[in-house]
Amino acid sequence: MRTLARSTAATLAAVTIIALTGACAPPEKETEASTSGAATATSAGALGGMDALIAEAKKEGRLNVIALPPNWANYGEIIKAFGAKYGIEVDSAQPDGSSQDEINAANQLRGQDTAPDVFDLGASVAAANVAMFAPYKVEKFDEIPAGLKDPGGAWANDYGGYMSIGYDSAKVPAPATVADLLKPAYKGKVALNGDPTQAGAAFGGVQMASLANGGTVEDIKNGVDFFGSLKKAGNFLPVDPSPATIESGQTPVVFDWDYLNAAQSKKMPSWKVFVPAGAVLGSYYVQAINKDAPHPAAARLWQEFLYSDEGQNLWLKGGARPVRADAMQKAGTIDATAFAALPKVEGDVVIPTEAQNTKAKEYLTANWTKAVG
Amino acid sequence: MARVIFRWTVLTVMGVFFLLPLVAMVEFSTRDPRTWPLLLDWPRLSTEYPALAEGILASLAQAALTSVLMLVLLVPTAIWVRLRLPRLRRVVEFLCLLPLTIPAIVLVVGLAPVYAWVNYFLGGSSLTLVFAYTVLVLPYAYRAIDTGLSAIDVQTLAEAARGLGAGWATVIWRVVLPNIRSAVLSAAFLTVALVLGEFTIASLLHRTNLQVAIEFLGKSSATVSVAVSLTALLLAFALLLVLSLVGTRSKEKSP
Amino acid sequence: MAEVAPRRVAGRSRPRGGALLGAVPFFAFVTIFLIIPTLTVVIGAFTGDGGRGFTPANVRALADDHILAAFGRSITLSAASAVIGAVLGAVLAYALVTARPHGLLRRVVTAAAGVLAQFGGVTLAFAFLATIGLSGFVTLWLQEHGLDPYARGVWLFELPGLTLVYTYFQIPLMVIVFLPALDGIRPQWREATDSLGGNTWHYWTRVAGPLLAPAFLGSALLLFANAFSAYATAAALVSQGSPIVPLQIRGALTSEVVLGQANLGKAMALGMVVVVAVVMTLYSLLESRTAKWLG
């Protein structure tokens, strides 16, 4: 019996040591990709020009993208256009994932052929993971406004929009302000795109509600209280809106980015979008390249495509605002009809900084479940 | 008489409660008349809903592989421990019951670093989930196999076979295994039922399987996802009904 | 001359090391895929964010209001569904036990119970959405007849709804776990009570009741642990707010709004293990008492 106890103790000790060492990541696979020139190129010029980049990318033949839903800002069409233009196969993993899922996947699959090549992240997740990005300046880098990119090229904003309220005009009366949603006509009808403690889009919704009710993006008490009152009035619907629920009429009013609501309008003519006056919360999403991308040249070509005129106009088609809109307007390369079709905004645009977001999140974590749970 | 009335009242009330969601699923899925024809047409299904087709195939492969891995791991170990390491029997039993105390959601939190290594050696396919699933199935499978082994006299069988010159492999494969056939089948069926219903680990390790695919499908097509759920449920019921019939029949056969 | 004859029992003549070798695959597998993840959770719960140093901060964070509330709700949900499941399941089990032991009825219902007990997760959530969801079969029928089940708010996606959905797999689980105990009731006890002048009331409160109590409580505890650990059903049903602990853990791992919570997730996982371990220990104690009389 003593031998059993002793061997058990020895085993447990050994296992603990293994667990502690096992917590560190496996060694990186030395792949061809990590040693090729494309992995460290910081611009197309470094590789010998755009044609050289295209040739390298075609040789790689594949691109791994992650967390890009096809009806999110027209990603479906963008992916198809990229694949058709360069003959590169695009593998779209986890279309439903969050920005954090992208980082987790990159960590889990490091060195694998299926690791994500590029990231499309919310600002907070991007700011927390800059060490994972490979700096690269696209050809049109200088046309991106200064505050919307990393000077070293590690990341840059690409497309964005404003927080809006989409509603089915055939089922509910048109709301003029956010406060209108507290009226009995909207009983059991108002949904938020996700849980604000988990999804960036929903978090933006709370910030917008805060702006609309006299608060700020930093002090979101009014926003959380608004949703609390919405819940008490029985108007708040704790259902995750999706194209299926919108079309079936389960979620007639949805807080979401204007480009996502616009995509729904295309499918359903009675779906209208409005950005409340004086409560214009803007947010851009960030593009970055994975430092350990298995297909570095294809990743860089993808970035070039997204920031090219063609790519930026495809964002417009999806109802999102491209980051180079000003420069393209001046140069006349912008898709004027699509640009004019964007929802009108009245009031100053507020794009929250990371510091403001952090303070808002602290309040949210402590109070959201109390208000809405 | 009162007993019969009591029995049938209870069964009727409960029956209504349990059958109602199934009836509702049938009604809901037929709201769109294209749902069932699409579901029964595999080529069309894989083009229209590739993620669903992928999930179904992944789940079937996972169920088969987990059954095999579970049997290869547990049957020899259970026999070996009974015959040669009786002192370790308590330890093995404890380890096999441990997954009941460690919920899947907790296990998956700790599996991430282990799976980083699995990805390194075996790639990131959904089939590597088989290792985690075998752990989940340990309590049920071990209990089934252990019960089966208790019912036969393993010691005598093994000694007789060894006495006649058989090696250990022959003892396990040709002597003991045929005698615990129904226990092994029972363990395999339980494994398949569990793997087909598993969602937590696949979802949080970002792999695909049937349940993950159904959940994803629910966001785009409510009727097809409900139809698939109903089909999966009915298949599992048929499976377990077969198991209970096979199990009872062999109990009646053995002396 | 006392000579000890070599013992010719099968296996004893081989060195013990060789025997241990046969169990190595199993132990290696369980170590890698069960022990190491568990230790990762335990150690990670006490590690600081970013993987540095030992700190009880994450475990102390479990005492935060919103996490404590989540544990409270998890326990409430598990207890409610366990009690309802235990009572109704026991009644159903008793109804079954009065039927013929190997008859078709009992076999079919037991098989159905086996399936429904495992029928958690996404499929169950969708089944209930199809039944009493916002455009469900029963909801529409009730609304056509003037009753709106959601007049006072949509409760399906909150604790009341989760309790209802959980009973759907708790009742079958109770039937499976409690039926063997009911099978252990011997008709002699009834006869003895009758012959001593007792009636049905006496039988249930003085004889069968106390004998079945440990089994009943043990089964109820098993139901509690089952509900407490459940994740998939709630994940598929609840999309707004993380009312229970497993959903909070998911949020800690995948939230893109509140970052750096991976070790807090491990601390919550550790909390869950502690609760379930306590419940399972009580269950095994009650099991041994049950086995004495009804085994």
Subunits with 3+ C-beta pairs closer than 8 A to B: A, C
Helix, strand or coil, per DSSP, at residue B138: helix
Helix axes C245-254, B104-122, angle to 10 degrees: 30
CB pairs under 8 A between A and C: 121
Mean of pLDDT values over C120-130? 88
- Look up residue A129 and give its amino acid: N
- Is C70 near chain A, with CB under 8 Å? yes
How many helices (H) and strands (E) chain B has is answered by: 13, 0
Residue numbers in B near C118 (CB within 8 A):
193-194, 197, 236
Is the Cβ–Cβ distance between C179 and C110 less than 8 Å? yes
- Is B147 near chain C, with CB under 8 Å? no
pLDDT digits (tens, 9 = 90+) for B168-203: 888 888 888 888 888 888 888 888 888 988 999 999
Q: Which residue has the tokens 């026999």?
A: B79
Contact (CB<8Å) B244/C110: yes
Contact (CB<8Å) B197/C11: no
- Is A4 near chain B, with CB under 8 Å? yes
Neighbours of C26 (CB within 10 A): 21
Residue numbers in C near B219 (CB within 8 A):
none
H or E element at residue C274: helix C262-294
pLDDT at C268: 93
Which member of A99, A249, A369 has the closest CB to residue C69?
A: A369
Which member of C20, C99, C102 has the closest CB to residue B7?
A: C99
pLDDT band at A238 (very low <50, low <70, confident <90, very high): confident
Pairing of strands A118-121, A280-289: antiparallel
C18/B232 Cα distance (integer angstroms): 45
Which member of A26, A101, A244 has the closest CB to residue B206?
A: A101
CA closest to C149 among chain A residues: A188
Q: Which residue has the tokens 């499918």?
A: A267
Helix, strand or coil, per DSSP, at residue A253: strand
H or E element at residue B10: helix B2-29
**Token pair recorded at residue C15:** 């060195």
pLDDT at A342: 83
- Determine the distance in angstroms separating the CA of A246 from the nearest CA of chain C, rounded to an integer: 12
pLDDT digits (tens, 9 = 90+) for B204-241: 988 889 999 999 888 888 888 999 999 988 887 787 77
pLDDT at A212 over 60: yes
- Is A100 near chain C, with CB under 8 Å? yes
Is the Cβ–Cβ distance between A369 and C243 less than 8 Å? yes
- Determine the distance in angstroms separating the CA of B253 from the nearest CA of chain C, rounded to an integer: 14
A125/A198 Cα distance (integer angstroms): 12
Residue numbers in C near A126 (CB within 8 A):
none
Which member of B91, B119, B221 has the closest CB to residue A108?
A: B119
pLDDT at C14: 47
pLDDT at C261: 84
pLDDT band at B89 (very low <50, low <70, confident <90, very high): confident
Pairing of strands A89-93, A349-350: unpaired
CA closest to C253 among chain B residues: B109
Residue numbers in C near A369 (CB within 8 A):
66, 69-70, 241-243
At residue B39's C-alpha, the angle toward residues B35 and B41, to 5°, is: 120
- Is A36 near chain C, with CB under 8 Å? no
Is the Cβ–Cβ distance between C161 and C155 less than 8 Å? yes
**Token pair recorded at residue A80:** 């198809």
Is the Cβ–Cβ distance between C248 and C269 less than 8 Å? no
pLDDT band at A29 (very low <50, low <70, confident <90, very high): low
pLDDT at B197: 87
Task: Kindly tell me the sign of the dihedral angle through the C-alpha atoms of B169, B173, B177, B179.
Answer: negative
pLDDT at B113 over 80: yes
Residue numbers in A near B94 (CB within 8 A):
none
- Is A69 near chain B, with CB under 8 Å? no
pLDDT at B246 over 80: no
Is the Cβ–Cβ distance between A15 and C31 less than 8 Å? yes
pLDDT band at B61 (very low <50, low <70, confident <90, very high): very high
A16/C40 Cα distance (integer angstroms): 9
CA closest to C31 among chain B residues: B95
Which member of C31, C66, C254 has the closest CB to residue A100?
A: C254
CA closest to C99 among chain B residues: B7
Chain C interface test: which of B106, B120, B229, B231 (most C C-beta within 10 Å)? B106
pLDDT at A59 over 70: yes
Is the Cβ–Cβ distance between A222 and A371 less than 8 Å? no
Torsions phi, psi of B170, nearest 5? -65, -40
Chain C 108-127, residues with CB within 8 Å of chain A CB atoms: none
Is the Cβ–Cβ distance between A229 and A223 less than 8 Å? no
Alpha helix (H) ranges present in A114-199?
Answer: 123-128
- Is A92 near chain B, with CB under 8 Å? no
Residue A17's alpha-carbon distances to A24, C40, C43, C52, in angstroms, are 12, 11, 11, 16
Pairwise pLDDT comparison (C242 vs A218), residue with the higher score: A218
B138/B184 Cα distance (integer angstroms): 13
Contact (CB<8Å) A108/B117: no
C144/C245 Cα distance (integer angstroms): 37
Which member of A4, A23, A112 has the closest CB to residue B119?
A: A112
pLDDT at B251 over 90: no
- Look up residue C1 and give its amino acid: M
Helix, strand, coil percent values for chain C (each to nearest 5): 75, 0, 25
Torsions phi, psi of C50, nearest 5? 90, 5
Contact (CB<8Å) A23/C255: no
Query: Got the DSSP string for C46-84?
Result: TBPTTS-SB-THHHHHTTSHHHHHHHHHHHHHHHHHHHH
Q: What average pLDDT is seen over chain A?
A: 86
pLDDT at B177: 86
What's the burial of C75, exposed, middle or buried (CB within 10 Å: 0-12/13-18/19+)? middle
Mean of pLDDT values over A361-365? 90
Alpha helix (H) ranges present in chain A?
Answer: 2-22, 32-35, 44-47, 50-60, 75-86, 99-108, 123-128, 200-212, 221-232, 243-248, 258-267, 296-307, 309-317, 325-331, 336-340, 354-372
Chain A interface test: which of C49, C158, C256, C264 (most A C-beta within 10 Å)? C256
pLDDT at A266: 86
Query: C54 forms bridges with which residues in the sheet?
Result: C47
pLDDT at A134: 92
Residue A128's alpha-carbon distances to A58, A99, A100, A350, in angstroms, are 32, 11, 10, 22
pLDDT at A2: 58
pLDDT at C15: 46
pLDDT at A89: 92
Task: Kindly tell me the sign of the dihedral angle through the C-alpha atoms of A340, A341, A346, A348.
Answer: negative
Pairwise pLDDT comparison (B2 vs A161), residue with the higher score: A161
- Is B105 near chain C, with CB under 8 Å? yes
Helix, strand, coil percent values for chain B (each to nearest 5): 85, 0, 15
Torsions phi, psi of A65, nearest 5? -115, 165
pLDDT digits (tens, 9 = 90+) for C141-182: 888 888 888 877 778 888 889 999 999 999 999 998 888 888
B19/B13 Cα distance (integer angstroms): 10
The phi-psi region of residue A346 (left if phi > 0; otherwise alpha if psi is between -120 and 50; otherwise beta) is beta
State the complex-level ipTM: 0.86
- Determine the distance in angstroms separating the CA of C227 from the nearest CA of chain A, rounded to an integer: 20
- Determine the distance in angstroms separating the CA of A259 from the nearest CA of chain B, rounded to an integer: 18
Is the Cβ–Cβ distance between A351 and A284 less than 8 Å? yes
Is the Cβ–Cβ distance between A239 and C154 less than 8 Å? yes
- Determine the distance in angstroms separating the CA of B44 from the nearest CA of chain C, rounded to an integer: 23
pLDDT digits (tens, 9 = 90+) for B19-31: 999 999 999 988 8
pLDDT band at A31 (very low <50, low <70, confident <90, very high): low
B43/C87 Cα distance (integer angstroms): 47
Give A118's contacts (C-beta < 8 A, 6+ positions apart). A63, A65, A287, A288, A289, A290, A293, A299, A302, A303
**Token pair recorded at residue B245:** 């019939």
pLDDT at C58 over 70: yes
pLDDT at B3 over 50: yes
Domains with residue ranges and CATH for chain A: 2-9+34-160+283-340 (3.40.190.10), 161-282+343-372 (3.40.190.10)
Is the Cβ–Cβ distance between B62 and B195 less than 8 Å? yes
pLDDT at C33: 94
- Determine the distance in angstroms separating the CA of A25 from the nearest CA of chain B, rounded to an integer: 7
Residue A126's alpha-carbon distances to A157, A272, A326, C292, in angstroms, are 10, 32, 24, 61
H or E element at residue A272: strand A271-274
- Is B158 near chain C, with CB under 8 Å? yes
Subunits with 3+ C-beta pairs closer than 8 A to C: A, B
pLDDT at A114: 86
**Token pair recorded at residue A235:** 């108007």
H or E element at residue C279: helix C262-294
**C132-161: burial string, b at 16+ Cβ within 10 Å, e else:** bbbbbbbbeeeeeeeeeebeebbbbbbbeb
From chain B, which residues contact A within 8 Å (Cβ)? 87, 91, 112-117, 119-120, 123-124, 205-206, 216, 218-222
pLDDT at C242 over 70: yes
Task: Kindly tell me the sign of the dihedral angle through the C-alpha atoms of A35, A39, A43, A45.
Answer: positive
Subunits with 3+ C-beta pairs closer than 8 A to A: B, C
pLDDT digits (tens, 9 = 90+) for C2-33: 445 444 445 444 446 677 787 889 999 999 99
pLDDT at C106 over 90: no
Going by the DSSP 8-state scheme, the letter that residue C204 receives in this structure is: I
pLDDT at B82: 86
Pairwise pLDDT comparison (B107 vs C100), residue with the higher score: B107
pLDDT digits (tens, 9 = 90+) for B128-183: 999 999 999 999 899 889 888 888 888 888 888 889 988 888 888 888 888 888 88
pLDDT at C13: 47
Contact (CB<8Å) C253/A234: no
Which member of C10, C138, C249 has the closest CB to residue B109?
A: C249
Residue numbers in B near A27 (CB within 8 A):
120
